[in-house]
Structure 1
Amino acid sequence: MMKVMSLVLLCLAFQSSAKEEVCNSLNSLNWLIGNWYSENSKLTFNESWSRISEKTFEGYGQTYSIVKNKVVSAETLRLVEMSGEVFYLAKVASNALPTAFKLTSCTADSAVFENSRHDFPNKIKYQLNKSKTITAFVSGEGGKGFSIEFIGKNGNASNE
Structure 2
Amino acid sequence: MVRRFVAALALLALSLPVQGGAGADIETLSWLSGQWLRVDGDKRWEEHYMRPAGGVIVGMSRSVRPGRPPSVEFIRIAPGADGRLTYHAHPLGQAPAGFPLVEQGPGLAVFANPAHDFPQRITYRLMGDELTATIEGPDGDAGMRRASWTWRRAGPAP
**For this structure pair, what is the TM-score category when the shorter chain's length is used for normalisation?**
0.7 to 0.9
Residue segments in structure 2 that go unaligned for 5+ positions in a row = none
Partner of 2:152: 151
- Aligned twin of 1:107: 105
Query: Helix, strand or coil: the match of 1:51?
Result: coil
Task: Tell me which residue corresponds to 2:57.
Answer: 57
List 4+ stretches of structure 1 deviating above 6 A. Answer: none
* Distance in 1, Cα, partners of 2:98 & 2:18: 22
Question: Conserved in 2, the CA contact under 8 Å of 1:124 and 1:139?
Answer: yes
- Could you state the TM-score of these two structures normalised by the residue count of structure 1? 0.76
| Alpha-carbon distance in 1 for matches of 2:112, 2:119 | 8
Structure 2 length-normalised TM: 0.77
RMSD of the alignment, in Å? 3.0
The equivalent residue for 1:88 is 87
The answer for unaligned runs of 5 or more in structure 1 is none
Distance in structure 1 (CA, Å) of the matches to 2:36 and 2:130: 8
User: Percentage identity across aligned positions?
Assistant: 26
Counterpart of 1:122 in structure 2 is 120
Q: Could you tell me how far apart the structure 2 residues matched to 1:91 and 1:98 are? A: 4
8 Å Cα contact 1:115/1:123 also seen in 2: yes
- Would you say the 8 A contact 2:123–2:135 is kept in 1? yes
* Richer in helix (by share): 1
User: Higher RCO, 1 or 2 (CA under 8 Å, sep at least 6)?
Assistant: 2
SS of the counterpart of 1:53?
A: coil
Question: Is the contact between residue 30 and residue 52 of structure 2 (CA under 8 Å) also seen in structure 1?
Answer: no
Tell me by how many angstroms 1:53 deviates: 2.2
